[in-house]
Structure 1
Amino acid sequence: MPTASVSKTERINLRLDAASKQRLERAALLEGQTLSRYVLVTALMRAEQVISEHETMVLSGRDAEVFFDRLANPPVMSPELTAALEEHGRRVDSR
């Protein structure tokens, strides 16, 4: 969450219907926050959840054993595996 010392220069504009705005204002009031602060905090919390869901892998005990076994004993690099890894590198943007 941004702190008071961080320069706030970026903006997001959105259009919404009156009922949606009233609902957000009501929620902000109940939380004791301004509408802007409520929308920002809520959006950032959800953003963290989405990022975590997409960047975290949970393995079963058996899958974890197989994974760590493969790390300790990597498979032989067959031409097919090499091609698959190269294709992965072209298709997936890992950040």
Structure 2
Amino acid sequence: MAQADGIKGERVNLRLSAVAKRRIERAAALEGRPLSSFIVASVLEQAERTIAAHDAMELSRRDAERFLDAVLDPPRANRRLRAALDEHGQRVLSR
């Protein structure tokens, strides 16, 4: 997880209700942390969960087996696939 503490840099401003602010202040106090440190750590933790949820792909057992079968024993390229690969070679310059 990214560091919540450290060098100060960018600034983010936000508005929230008085009730929300008091709740966040209470939670920070319960952990004995400064408000800004608590907010940054909490937001980074949620950001990591969100990124992980979007970066990872879960397959059902059936789909995982089908994927593995395709990797281990790929189907032969048909005419349409070969034509698509030829077109890709003409359109895209590889470096």
**Is TM (by shorter chain) over 0.5?**
yes
Once the 2 structures are TM-superposed, how far is the Cα of residue 13 of structure 1 from its aligned partner?
0.7
- Aligned position for 1:72: 72
Summarize the Cα distance change of 1:77–1:15 in structure 2 as closer, same or farther, 3 Å threshold: farther
Q: Which has the higher contact order (CA 8 A, sep 6+)?
A: 2
**Larger Rg computed on CA atoms:** 2
- Within the alignment, does 1:36 sit opposite 2:36 as a pair? yes
Once the 2 structures are TM-superposed, how far is the Cα of residue 60 of structure 1 from its aligned partner?
2.7
Q: Is the 8 A contact 2:4 2:37 kept in 1?
A: no
Percent identity over paired residues: 43
- Aligned position for 1:20: 20
Structure 1 runs (4+) deviating above 6 angstroms are none
Structure 1: any 5+ residue segments left out of the alignment?
87-95
* Structure 1 CA distance for aligned equivalents of residues 38 and 4 of structure 2: 14
- Aligned position for 1:91: none
* Structure 1 CA distance for aligned equivalents of residues 38 and 7 of structure 2: 19
TM-score normalised by structure 2 residue count: 0.71
- Aligned position for 1:9: 9
TM-score normalised by structure 1 residue count: 0.71
* Structure 2 CA distance for aligned equivalents of residues 36 and 44 of structure 1: 12
